[in-house]
Homo-oligomer: A and B are copies of this chain.
């Protein structure tokens, strides 16, 4: 059954790579991988028994699903190059509305958004990745639900408005928390302390929110309103105005939510 469904992957970045490999492993036939760089396309296509192309006009017209997994900015320009508009197209972006397909006269379309942070060199258990799905018709939703359901145990129906909000929340939960790690990495390495010593703390901080709420999990000097420590820390950041500003702003925010939530 899966073997009869053919998929084209448009993109060869982090998301395209993880998805392409997962779909191939699940038994789908990947017709081709498109990238503006044939080298990038080939790097992925070689792994998943597919062709590689660097021109949208070379896309096979016989695929059952076209997965557009490229940078947000590239989605509309790429869609504009596609002339066969009756096939099923999905994109994987958290922040681009499903309307882009309608506006460009596509007939069957949807969203196939894996809510996860992908880096090429970090393997991931795709079965635990929440897929946020949306489609313009029941048959298309059924098709992409089946496909998502064959690689992941977490299928979620999220409309475009909710998805935009979810993407914003994900930026805080992932991108911004990672930036906090990066700041910590900078502070430790600059002071000849191994960043390794912070790793159990980082893992436990994340693990906590699987069993208690972030509000219950909050600890630290800002929560205790421990002015002595806060002032000591701000003083240590005297020569790093951007970090000092971040420190003050987030500490104030922790303190304010303590009072009002």
Contact = CB atoms under 8 A, between A and B. Distances in A.
Interface of A: 14, 71-73, 95, 115-119, 121-122, 124, 128-130, 132, 154, 156, 158, 162, 164-185, 187-188, 191-193, 195, 197-224, 226, 228-229, 232-233, 236-237, 242-243, 245-247, 249-250, 252-254, 256-257
A219 B182 contact: no
Tallying the copies of this chain within the complex gives: 2
A53 to B, nearest CB: 24
A9 to B, nearest CB: 19
Given A198-B170, A245-B249, A232 B175 contact: no
Contacts of A169: 183-185, 187-188, 193, 198
Given A178-B217, A201-B116, A208-B178, A193 B165 contact: yes
Given A122-B211, A162-B191, A171-B233, 14 more contacts: A72-B228, A115-B200, A116-B200, A119-B208, A162-B193, A165-B187, A169-B184, A169-B187, A171-B221, A173-B180, A173-B181, A176-B246, A177-B177, A246-B250
Contacts of A179: 214, 218, 250, 253-254, 257
A245 B253 CA distance: 11
Given A162-B193, A218-B182, A128 B174 contact: no
Contact of A71 (B177, B222, B224, B237): B224
A191 to B, nearest CB: 5
A242 B255 CA distance: 12
